[in-house]
Structures are given as C-alpha cells and as structure tokens.
Copies of this chain bind each other. A is one copy, B any other.
Amino acid sequence: MTIERIEPGARLSEAVAYGNLVFLAGHVAEDTSAGMYEQAADCLRQIDAHLAAAGSDKSKLLTIQIWITDMALFPELNRAWDEWVDKANLPARATVESRLANPGWLVEIAGVAAR
C-alpha cells in the first residue's frame, strides 16, 4: 500500500495516509497571540483541511490527543471542541498538560482518522 504524505515540510508532514488510516501531526495555531478558544478553533480548522486532503473528514475521527499548556484553560478548549466535533461520531480523546515548542502556543492537537 502506498503511503501518502500531506503537506510535507522541512521536518514533518501535516498528515500521513496509509490504507484506510490518516495520522495527523500535532497541529498548532498560526496566531500565537490568540487565546485558547481561538487557537483551538484554528487547530481544528487546519485538521479539517488536512483530513479533506487525505480523503477524510471529522465524522471519521478515531482518536484525538490534545496537549494544553495550562489546565485552567480546559473549559475554553472544550468550548471550541464542542462547537466543532461531530456529536454523532465522537472520537476517543485524551487531554493532558504539557509545555509546547513555541511559548505562544496554548494547545496542540494530533489524532488518527479513518478514510
């Protein structure tokens, strides 16, 4: 089976599709001055685009991993999540606190989808 690499950059691909599975890189916001809600919504918009490029969409998400830099912002993360996620097709999910590579990033989101 062919491995399809979506938006390969200098160091990683934004998504990698293999057979019926799509592996999403850790997605981060473009605007590091934005708050948690805006950053999370931006990550999820980027994930929509990369899932589409791989022939998938959020209704086919299998599992999501979320890292946030401050658990005090968990409600704001969930506000963006709840507006975005397909409630008829909820993925498995884990959310933990970690510092991220850019001090302006408040959230990073990776996952695996079917296609």
Enumerate chain A interface residues (CB-CB to B < 8 A): 1, 3, 5, 8-16, 18-21, 23-26, 60, 62-65, 67, 71, 74, 78, 81-82, 85, 89-101, 103, 108, 110, 112, 114
Contacts and interface: CB of A to CB of B under 8 A. Distances in A.
A81 B101 CA distance: 15
> A interface, by DSSP: helix, strand, loop or mixed?
strand
B100 A18 contact: no
B15 A92 contact: yes
A91 to B, nearest CB: 6
Nearest to A25: B92
Contacts of A1: 20, 114
A3 B62 CA distance: 8
